[in-house]
Amino acid sequence: MMGLLLTLFSPIIGGFIYGVERVVKARMQSRQGPPVLQPFYDFVKLMQKRPMMVHSFHASMGIMYFISTWFAMAVLMMGNDLLIAIFFHVISVLALTIGAFSVRSSYSIMGAMRELMHVVSYEPVVILLAVSLYLVTGSFDIAKILTSDITPIFSLPLVFISFLGVMPMLLHKSPFDIAEAHQEIVGGPDIEYSGPFYEAVYTARWIEYVYVYFIVFLFGGSNYFLGTFLVVFSFIFINAVDNSTARLDYKKMLKFAWFILIPLSMLNIFFVVVGAN
């Protein structure tokens, strides 16, 4: 029952996290910033705008992005298989990318190409994270990971560091906000959405916040206090990095992921396997 309620309210939770993030970012930049509820004010404003679309397929891919992201969140919150949740999240990102490729806007197409670079960069680390959690807890099921006697963060510190490294890619934060790059391509793959259709994409971004931070929470295992601490630490760390770094190009993002983060995860998995034997 709790999992179902968390699933239903995950967009609201994500919107609140986004609102808090904007306040924290403003304080880090020594400015007032918007109120915590500003994302919800934006939601109401967008819903009141006249629906406009490039074509129906483009609009449907934006809605599919929202639905698939919510399905990924539901799998996590209901305590099911982590790999299935990752699978649904990949589908959601591909839906947004396909929709972006379906229009003639050069900004949208460029954003879609960069979004694929994001997926190629972070997805191997996320898969290795799932594998490493299986090795230390004996299951891909979220419910079993959260009730395991083993606390994953103590066995998988390098995997956790690797996931911290890809979180800016997942959440489109500096130095890896390459797909959106508002100074260059003004929003990237979602630039051609407007009104309620953009609202679907906007809300899906909120759910992604919950998705990503819930994965961080898994590193605490059955120690929910530790899991909450890791989430708060990750939140502050990601925002500090976002406010203190300049955007890199996609080549540096790929190199960072493939030559530093992936080897770190594999090294940690190697130590886990050797220690088990």
Residue 228 confidence (pLDDT)? 96
Q: Give the other-Cβ count within 10 Å of 152's Cβ.
A: 26
Alpha helices in the chain (DSSP H): 2-28, 38-47, 56-77, 82-101, 106-137, 142-145, 152-155, 157-171, 195-218, 224-244, 250-256, 262-276
**What is the pTM for the complete model shown?**
0.93
Residue 242 has pLDDT above 80, yes or no: yes
34-44 per-residue burial string, b: 16 or more CB within 10 A, e: under 16: eebeebbebbe
For residues 92-116, average pLDDT: 89
The pLDDT mean for the chain works out to 90
**Is 186's pLDDT higher than 70?**
no
Is residue 149's pLDDT more than 70? Answer: yes
Residue 185 in 3-state DSSP? coil
* Nearest-angstrom CA–CA distance, 249 and 204: 25
What's the confidence (pLDDT) of residue 124?
Answer: 96
Under a CB-based contact definition with an 8 Å cutoff, are residues 115 and 188 in contact?
yes
Q: How many Å apart are CA 100 and CA 159, to the nearest integer?
A: 32
Question: Where are the chain's structural domains?
Answer: 2-18+50-272
d(CA 89, CA 214): 13
Q: How confident is the model at residue 275 (pLDDT cuts 50, 70, 90)?
A: confident
pLDDT at residue 187 greater than cutoff 80? no
Q: pLDDT over 90 for what percent of the chain? A: 60
Spatial neighbors of 133 by CB under 8 A, at least 6 apart, are 82, 140, 145, 152, 156, 218
What's the half-sphere exposure (Cβ side, CA atoms, 13 Å) at 221? 16
pLDDT one-digit tens code per residue, 219-232? 999 999 999 999 99
Taking the alpha carbons of 233, 234, 237, 240 in that order, is the dihedral positive or negative?
Answer: negative
CB-side neighbour CA atoms (13 Å) of 134: 11
Contact between 220 and 153 under an 8 Å Cβ cutoff? The reply is: yes
How large a percentage of the chain has pLDDT more than 70?
Answer: 97
Q: How many CB atoms lie within 10 A of CB 251?
A: 10
Average pLDDT, integer, range 240-267: 91
Is the pLDDT higher at 46 or at 186? 46
At a CB cut-off of 8 Å and minimum separation 6, what does 138 contact? Answer: 144, 148
Query: What is the distance between the alpha carbons of residues 165 and 159, in angstroms, rounded to a whole number?
Result: 10
Q: What pLDDT does 48 receive?
A: 78
Q: Band of the pLDDT at 185, cuts 50, 70, 90? A: low
Q: How much is the pLDDT for 198?
A: 85
In angstroms, the CA 270 to CA 159 distance is: 11
Whether the pLDDT of residue 127 is over 90: the answer is yes
CA-wise closest residue to 159 among 271, 241, 250, 83:
271
pLDDT tens figures, 39-88: 898 888 878 777 777 788 988 999 999 999 999 999 999 989 999 999 99
**Torsion angles phi and psi, residue 141, rounded to 5:** -70, 130
